[in-house]
Chain A
Amino acid sequence: MNSIFGDRKTIFILLAPALVLYTLLKVVPVGWSLGLSFFEGNSLRGFEWVGVQNFTTFFTDPAALQSMWVSVFFAIVATALQVALGYALALLYVFVLRKGSTLVRTLVFFPTVLPTVAVAMLFRSFVAVGENQGPINDIINFFGGESVEVLASTVGTMTTAIAMTLWSSMGFYAVLLYAGLLDIPEEVIESARLDGANGFKLVRHIVVPLSLPILLSSIIFSLNATLKVFDSLLALNGGGPGTSTAPMTLYMYRTAFEYAEYGYGSTIAVILTALCLVFTLAIFRSSRRKAEV
């Protein structure tokens, strides 16, 4: 039996396409990019070995540091808010709406499948000002306020981007955490209730500790996704005003493909990858320490 399931020819036929494609087009390019980060130039001009100069440039380049700050800020704020909001929604589904939550769950999830570019267009029109102004400014005018040009300021753009991210992802995190909450045995909650734990107390001392693993997975997933934010900030305001809301992904894209600085672009990509790893490991380690205590 085992010899049949160990048939080398079959294994080769089934696995080779995936392994070859993955190695040639993912693993090799990752190594290549890593190597490119020590060079300067592009394929037309030629490459020149510069050692770690790209990395030192990065940490003295104000635009690069700004983009790193944007990425980290966006990742932390968006993660904190979307996981918290998703968790609140999941609690609402499980404990308040119970079996009647199907429709709400579906409708709140829907924006997740909408293309980020379309969502960005929608929010851009929503806060628009001028000849055709959006509902936000209409409401401000209705209460006697002056129209605000939200996307003209860094704070306004960032706020809109975060609101937009929350709008489109809260339903996703709600479903993710809802699945985790359903796994908590009914009896545990029931007996805690009878012991006098109710409402906030029940959530704080019973529900949160029991759903901690799925909460941590959500945080790691969310951090990894939001550190790579690209479409929403590009489509919302082009990383503007100026480049004040351009994340690392956008800075990397512009450096590599608009200014044809392949080497420096690769360096930014390497730092972004390292950042993703550091965030994930940090969360892992802090969770392990908590588990030991």
Chain B
Amino acid sequence: MTLTHTDTAYTVATPTVRKTGPNRTRRGLTKALRRLPVWILVAVLMIVVLYPQVWMVLGSFKTQSEFLSNPALSLPETWNFDNYVTALTNGNVARNWLNSVLVTIPSVLLIVFIGVAAGYALEVMIWKGRNGVLLYILAGIMVPGQMILVPLFITYFRIGITDTLWPLIITYTVMGLPLTTFLMATYFRSVPREIFEAATVDGSGPLRSFFVIGIPMMKNSIITVALVQFFSVWNDLLIALTFTTRPDLATIQVGLLSLSDEYGSTQYGPLFAAVSINIVVLLILFLTLNKKIMAGMAGGALKG
């Protein structure tokens, strides 16, 4: 340990001795040269990540004739929004967006509200068997969605709700619950118990404490969990494809899938526009909340 100490002291001391003009610039230059491979690497990485998206968005402004005559790498000749108009009017994209919003918002609200309440009951409340119940709910994270599709399909058909968006909302809520409950229980664990106990001393019942202290204290975690659930519901294809029986109930992902069959080899512009709307809207959402989204997704993966 002593050796280490002197070593660091030595390296720290050297630069101050050598701080002369020309030497310093040469050092700066060699340092920049040594960083060069890193910058090239980062540049390549950026091109790989960004280029396909930029290419898609640029393509959404091209006309059909530009697609056929100009090379794929060229820029659009003029910036026209005709493709967006076509996509929104012909391709049902507007209807699909509305459906996605109508499904995603209630699902996420239900998942979060029910999940937070369950997390509180499992972590803050004290009762026998709560660990067992948490484990029981946790087991649901492992089960693939395919396992529950057929029984749910039969049930929804029997009770006659297949002509509505309810099958989607209900299924998403159930699929999102295990992870949300588990994450919320972990988040409640990190809140000092004294806070809830102090509220009790002040005469607040446990249910009141949940609404007045539990939910406000968890505001940040709730937003993080809600964002993770938002993306998983918004981006889902399997559930939406299984339970949307009519085209006018299709969500954006199902719409996009059928759009490609419809336009596939004929109209590239509207297809590119439909995909670009997705990229741009999610990009705006992502850039405003990126830290919470990244933290939430990583946390969900590690605990899940």
The residues of A with any CB-CB pair to B shorter than 8 Å are 1-2, 4-8, 10-11, 13-15, 17-19, 21-22, 25-30, 32-33, 36, 43, 89, 92, 96-97, 104-118, 121-126, 130-135, 137-138, 167, 171-172, 175-176, 179, 191, 194, 214, 217-218, 221, 224, 227-228, 230-231, 234-235, 249, 252-253, 256-257, 262, 265-266, 268-270, 272-273, 276-277, 280
Cα of A26 to Cα of B143 in the assembled complex, Å: 9
In the bound complex, do residue B242 and residue A25 qualify as a contact, i.e. CB atoms below 8 Å apart?
A: no
Closest residue of chain A to B56, judged by CB? A122
A179: shortest Cβ distance to chain B, in Å?
A: 6
CB-CB < 8 A to B144: which residues of A? 227-228, 249, 269, 272-273, 276
In the bound complex, do residue B235 and residue A115 qualify as a contact, i.e. CB atoms below 8 Å apart?
A: yes
Closest residue of chain A to B210, judged by CB? A14
Cα of A132 to Cα of B272 in the assembled complex, Å: 12
Closest residue of chain A to B208, judged by CB? A10
In the bound complex, do residue B173 and residue A33 qualify as a contact, i.e. CB atoms below 8 Å apart?
A: no
Provide the main secondary structure of the chain B interface.
helix
Please tell me if B275 contacts chain A, counting CB pairs below 8 Å: yes
Please tell me if B81 contacts chain A, counting CB pairs below 8 Å: no
A31: shortest Cβ distance to chain B, in Å?
A: 9
Cα of A113 to Cα of B118 in the assembled complex, Å: 27
Known: A115-B235, A249-B146. A131 touches B151 (CB 8 A): no
CB-CB < 8 A to A224: which residues of B? 142
Partner among A8, A18, A122, A265 whose Cβ is within 8 Å of the Cβ of B117: A18
Closest residue of chain B to A231, judged by CB? B237
In the bound complex, do residue B117 and residue A117 qualify as a contact, i.e. CB atoms below 8 Å apart?
A: no
Partner among B49, B234, B297 whose Cβ is within 8 Å of the Cβ of A111: B49
In the bound complex, do residue A22 and residue B140 qualify as a contact, i.e. CB atoms below 8 Å apart?
A: yes
Mark out the residues of chain B between 1 and 38 whose CB falls within 8 Å of any chain A CB in the assembled complex. Answer: 4, 7-8, 38
Please tell me if B226 contacts chain A, counting CB pairs below 8 Å: no
In the bound complex, do residue A25 and residue B148 qualify as a contact, i.e. CB atoms below 8 Å apart?
A: yes
A215: shortest Cβ distance to chain B, in Å?
A: 11
The residues of B with any CB-CB pair to A shorter than 8 Å are 4, 7-8, 38, 41-42, 45-46, 48-50, 52-53, 55-56, 59, 67-68, 71-73, 114-115, 117-118, 120-122, 124-127, 133, 137, 140, 142-155, 157-158, 170-171, 173-175, 177-178, 181, 196-197, 200, 205-207, 210, 231, 234-235, 237-238, 241-242, 252-253, 256-257, 260, 265, 268, 271-272, 275, 278-279, 282-283, 285-287, 290, 293-294, 297-298, 301-302, 304
In the bound complex, do residue A4 and residue B302 qualify as a contact, i.e. CB atoms below 8 Å apart?
A: no
Tally of A-B Cβ pairs under 8 angstroms: 267
In the bound complex, do residue A25 and residue B170 qualify as a contact, i.e. CB atoms below 8 Å apart?
A: yes
CB-CB < 8 A to B157: which residues of A? 43
In the bound complex, do residue B118 and residue A106 qualify as a contact, i.e. CB atoms below 8 Å apart?
A: no
CB-CB < 8 A to B257: which residues of A? 117, 234-235
CB-CB < 8 A to B150: which residues of A? 29, 32-33, 36, 256, 262, 265-266, 269
B281: shortest Cβ distance to chain A, in Å?
A: 10
In the bound complex, do residue A273 and residue B121 qualify as a contact, i.e. CB atoms below 8 Å apart?
A: no
CB-CB < 8 A to B121: which residues of A? 10-11, 14-15
Cα of A227 to Cα of B142 in the assembled complex, Å: 12
In the bound complex, do residue A14 and residue B120 qualify as a contact, i.e. CB atoms below 8 Å apart?
A: yes
In the bound complex, do residue A194 and residue B7 qualify as a contact, i.e. CB atoms below 8 Å apart?
A: yes
Known: A7-B206, A104-B42. A118 touches B52 (CB 8 A): no
B175: shortest Cβ distance to chain A, in Å?
A: 8
Chain A to chain B contacts (Cβ below 8 Å), 10 pairs: A10-B206, A10-B207, A18-B115, A22-B177, A25-B170, A96-B38, A113-B235, A117-B256, A230-B238, A249-B146
CB-CB < 8 A to B207: which residues of A? 10, 13-14
Cα of A272 to Cα of B150 in the assembled complex, Å: 14
Cα of A6 to Cα of B238 in the assembled complex, Å: 40
Known: A194-B7, A214-B302, A269-B149. A113 touches B293 (CB 8 A): yes
